[in-house]
Amino acid sequence: MNVIDPRIHQALDGELASEAVPVELRRAVAQIAAAADLLAASPPGPAMSLESRVMAEIRRPAPSRAWRLIRWLVTPRAIILRVRPAWSVAFAAVVAALTLFTAGDEGPELAEHEGIAQFVGRFPEAQSVHVVGTFNDWRPGSIALEDQDHDGVWRATVVLPAGTYEYMFVVDGERWVPDHLAERLVADDFGRENSIVIVRPARR
Amino acid sequence: MKRWVVLALAAFLALPLAAQSVRGRLEGRIPSAAIPAVDSLIQFASQEGLPTDPLIQKALEGGAKHVPGPRIVAAVQVSLGQLRDARDLLVRAGDQPPVLPAEMTTVAWALRRGLAAPLVERVVAALARPPRAAAMHAVADLVAHRFDPDSAAQLIIEAVHDGVPRERLLEVSTAALQQVQRGHTRAEAFAIVRGQLPNLPASARPPRGNVAGARRLASPAPP
């Protein structure tokens, strides 16, 4: 612990004349006296009372709407959500049902070697349209086309191994019609023409 | 020696079983009067090592279309002739007998679709067995879209030699068709696609709506 020489105390208190202070202590006495003067001096500028500071804050111009909006958006807030357990269970059930429904709507998964064949034909007066070909052993009735909006355009989409197939439409179970929109027609050796569809492997 | 006896016995037992299964597929599907003749043609094909499924398919097609029996038999006979032509072509092109049934089916199908025999022979001679069927489909696809047959065959052969895998060969023809749709001539389309080989742009994923409603057959017959 540093012990201040008692003669420094006496000099600072005015009990000891500066000439009487030994030379080696005079510098320390001068420094301490200067520091005491600095502390005793008042801060620069006029001192503000509490009242004037509050009034200055009140008189400050209000921030713009945009600034307030930004502050509102970036300020973190606590949200308290009160939910009845019955409602949360119902919400979870709805989400699960929607997920299942959407998953079912995506259709079958396609393997690397598989592709999609779309069969479309316009038969306004038809009651039923089927597609028959080498992909289903020419078995009538196995792939029905649908006309869901009753505009006379019948459609079916089938997953098939990639390759080339011959086919025809069977309208109302008895009328065999080639698909004239097909990429190619080929003689069927029975005096008619089969349509040809090329199923390209689908990339997923 | 013992192995040969077992194989002969197995063949002896298998042939009647196969014949029975063929008759089973035909019964109720084609006029019963035509079944013996069709069956005997199928037996001939089997004995010659030719594929029998195309003949059965032709008979079933005739039956489904309510074609009279004699015409079904005639059509099956024509198909048998096409398969024999296909086998001869494959041997001429350098395949060692016995020729694979799948190869014969592919070549017969290509000839049936109007590809000239010399063109088919050229593709067969240029390519090894595995990519041949896919290559033939791609050439036939291009020819069906009025591309020059020789140039089409050349492009597909080059694609195979450049390393385009067989499952992507149809994408070569698709890419050429797309160039024509963009306004290029067929010759220009070939030149553009040739410049892209072997890195063809991947074919478009089928639209989600198309896949969504797609049905999968229980057991689709192979192409």
Q: Please, what is the average pLDDT of chain A?
A: 84
Q: How many domains does chain B have?
A: 2
- Measured torsion, CA atoms of residues B23, B26, B27, B31, in degrees rounded to the nearest 10: -120
Same domain assignment for residues B152 and B191: yes
Do B217 and B175 sit in the same domain of this protein? Answer: yes
Residue B185 to residue B167: CA distance in whole angstroms? 26
Kindly state whether residues B142 and B60 are assigned to the same domain.
Answer: no
pLDDT at B7: 45
Q: Do B182 and B122 reside in the same domain of the chain?
A: yes
pLDDT in tens, B2-50: 554 554 555 455 555 555 577 888 888 899 999 999 999 999 999 998 9
Residue A169 lies in a domain: yes
On the question of pLDDT at A203 being above 80, the answer is no
B93 and B135 together in one domain: no
Q: Do B129 and B219 sit in the same domain of this protein?
A: yes
The CA distance from A34 to A28, in Å, is 10
Look at A116 and B141 and tell me if their CB atoms are within 8 Å.
Answer: no
Taking residues A124-151, report their average pLDDT.
90
Quote ipTM for the complex: 0.75
Count: domains in chain A:
2
Distance between CA atoms of B188 and B182, rounded to whole angstroms? 11
Distance CA A22, CA A7 (A): 9
Residue A163, sorted as left (phi over 0), alpha (psi -120 to 50) or beta, turns out to be left
Is a pLDDT exceeding 90 seen at residue A127? Answer: yes
What six digits make up the tokens of A153? 């355009």
Last residue of a domain, one of B78, B94, B112: B112
Containing structural domain, residue A173: 114-199
Is position A109 within any domain?
A: no
Q: Which of A161, A168, A192 sits opposite B222 (nearest CB)?
A: A161
Quote the domain boundaries for residue B207: 117-223
- Judgement on whether residues B24 and B41 belong to the same structural domain of the protein: yes
Q: Is A81 a residue whose pLDDT tops 90?
A: no
Looking at A70-84, A94-108, B162-176, which range is the least confident one?
A: A94-108
pLDDT per residue as tens digits for the range B180-200: 888 988 889 888 888 888 887
Chosen from A154, A168, A198, A199 to mutate, greatest number of chain B CBs within 10 A? A198
The verdict on a CB contact (< 8 Å) between A190 and B217 is no
Do B167 and B182 lie in one domain? The reply is yes
Assess B210–A contact: CB distance below 8 Å, yes or no.
yes
- Of B103, B102, B57, whose CA–CA distance to B79 is shortest? B57
**pLDDT class for B178, splitting at 50, 70, 90?**
confident
Torsion of CA B151, B157, B158, B162, to 10 degrees: 160
What average pLDDT score do residues B146-170 get? 87
Q: What percentage of chain B has pLDDT greater than the value 70? A: 83
Q: What is the pLDDT of residues B71-93, one digit of tens each?
A: 999 999 999 999 999 999 999 88
A57 touches chain B (CB under 8 A): no
DSSP codes of every residue in B125-157: HHS-HHHHHHHHHHHHHHHHTT--HHHHHHHHH
Q: Is residue B216 pLDDT above 90, yes or no?
A: no
Q: Does A88 touch chain B (CB under 8 A)?
A: no
Residue B65 exposure: Cα atoms within 13 Å on the Cβ side:
28
* Together in a domain, B85 and B165: no
Indicate if B81 and B181 belong to the same structural domain.
Answer: no
pLDDT of residue A204: 47
B157 and B210 belong to one structural domain:
yes
Task: Mark whether B121 and B172 lie in a shared domain.
Answer: yes
Q: Which of A73-87, A117-131, B15-29, B156-170 has the lowest mean pLDDT?
A: B15-29
A46 pLDDT exceeds 70? no
Contacting residues for B199 by C-beta, under 8 A, at least 6 apart: none
